[in-house]
A = this chain, B = another copy of it.
Amino acid sequence: MNKEMQRTLLEDVAREAEVSTASVSRVLNRAPHVSKRLRERVEAAIDRLGYVPDGTARALASRRIGAIGALVPTLDNPIFSAMIDSLERRLKRHDCRLLIATYRYDLDDELQALRTLIQQGVDGVVLVGHDHRPAALTLLQRRQLPFLTCWHAEDDPDWPGIGFDNTAPARHLAEHLLMLGHRRLAVVSAPTDGNDRARARLEGFRQAAEAAGCPLPPERIVKVDYGIAEGAEAFESLMGLDRRPTAILCGNDTLAFGVMLAAQRAGLQVPREISITGFDDLPQARFMSPPLTTVAVPAGEIGRQVADGLIARIDGVTTPHRRLLDAPLVLRESTGPAPTD
C-alpha cells in the first residue's frame, strides 16, 4: 500500500459530481439556496469517494476551528471534572470540540496556556473565576475572542460569567452554625492566592461571624492544599489551640471529609462535640457518617449553560453579562447544637 495514498479532496468530489467546488462547499456547510438536485448529487459523490473535509484547511479559510478552549485549575478535583464533563457533552450538540488546559492555580501558567490556546485558534475561551492576570483580559479583548468565566459570578464589568455567589452560601453556613449556638468557629480554607472562590467563601464565613459578634481570629483560619489528608492535618492544628472551636467551616467537601475523619480519630463525636460543614456537595457528601452539611454547587448546570452561552457569543448573539445559578444549602447531620460544655 502506498504511504501517500492521495486523500480525496473537495475538488475530487466536485469532479465526481460534475459540479463546482463552490457548490460542494455549499452543500457541506448547509448554505441556503442550494437546489435539492445539487445537494443529492454532491452527497452521493461524497459517499462514493468517502470524502472527509479537512479541518485545518477549513479552519484557515473560515477562521473557525470548531473548538473552544477551557482553562481550569485542575481536573484532579471531581467538582471541576464534573463541570468539564457536562461542558464537553453539551458542546458536542453544537458540533464544537473542547481543548482543555490546566494551570494548578498558577495564574502565570494560566496566562501562558491562554496564549497557546489563542495561537491554536480556538473560537472561544472558558475560564474559572475572575482572578486572572490583567494581560489575559487584554489578550482576549484585543483578539475580540468570545469568552466566558464560570463558577464564580461576582458583578465584574470585565468578566462576563455564569456561576453562583460563593459568599452568600458561605455566610449562610456560618449563620446556620451561629444559630445553633456556636460561638467559636474555625475555618479550613483552600489557599486563596489566585482563587477568588476560596476568598469569597472565606469572606462569607467572616461576614457572618463578625455580624454575630464573634469574629474569626487569624489562628482559627487554616489554609491548606486540596486533599483529605490535608483536611485532617488542618484539624490537628486547630486542636492545638487553647480555646478549641466548636464548629469548623471547610472550603470544600474533600477538606471537610478529612476534618471529619480526624475529628473522629481524635474521639470527638460529630456533631455532638463538633460541627463540620463542607462546600460542593460531592456525591459522597450524603454518604459520609454523619452526612455532611454543605452547599450544592451546580457543576453540571454550569457546564451546560457555559456551553450554550459561549456558543451564542461565538455566533454573535449577545447574552447576559452575568448569570447567577442557585447554590443551595444542604443541611445534613454533620452540624448540630453547640456543645454546652
Residues of A within 8 A of B (CB): 3, 5, 52-57, 59-60, 63, 65-67, 74-76, 78, 81-82, 84-85, 88-89, 92, 97-102, 113, 115-121, 142, 144, 227-228, 257-258, 261, 283-284, 287
**Cα separation A119 to B55 with both chains bound (whole Å):** 5
- Chain A contact residues, majority secondary structure: helix
B82 touches A76 (CB 8 A): yes
Question: Closest 4 A-B residue pairs measured CB to CB?
Answer: A81-B81, A75-B85, A56-B59, A55-B120
A97 touches B74 (CB 8 A): no
Known: A59-B56, A66-B120. Is A261-B287 also a contact (CB below 8 A)?
Answer: yes
Known: A55-B119, A60-B60. Is A84-B89 also a contact (CB below 8 A)?
Answer: no
How many copies are assembled? 2
B76 touches A81 (CB 8 A): yes
Known: A88-B101, A116-B97. Is A56-B284 also a contact (CB below 8 A)?
Answer: no
Determine which of B5, B121, B142, B261 lies in contact with A54 in the assembled complex, contact meaning CB atoms within 8 Å: B121
Q: For A284, what are the chain B residues with a Cβ–Cβ distance below 8 Å?
A: 228, 257, 284
Known: A3-B144, A76-B81, A78-B81. Is A99-B56 also a contact (CB below 8 A)?
Answer: no
Determine which of B75, B92, B144, B287 lies in contact with A81 in the assembled complex, contact meaning CB atoms within 8 Å: B75
**Cα separation A52 to B145 with both chains bound (whole Å):** 15
**Cα separation A118 to B225 with both chains bound (whole Å):** 39
Determine which of B65, B84, B89 lies in contact with A56 in the assembled complex, contact meaning CB atoms within 8 Å: B65
Q: For A97, what are the chain B residues with a Cβ–Cβ distance below 8 Å?
A: 99, 101, 116-117, 120
Q: Smallest distance from the beta carbon of A111 to chain B beta carbons, Å? A: 14
Offer 17 A-B interface pairs, CB within 8 angstroms, sorted by A.
A5-B142, A54-B121, A56-B60, A56-B121, A59-B60, A60-B60, A75-B85, A76-B78, A76-B82, A76-B85, A84-B100, A88-B101, A97-B99, A228-B287, A257-B284, A257-B287, A284-B284
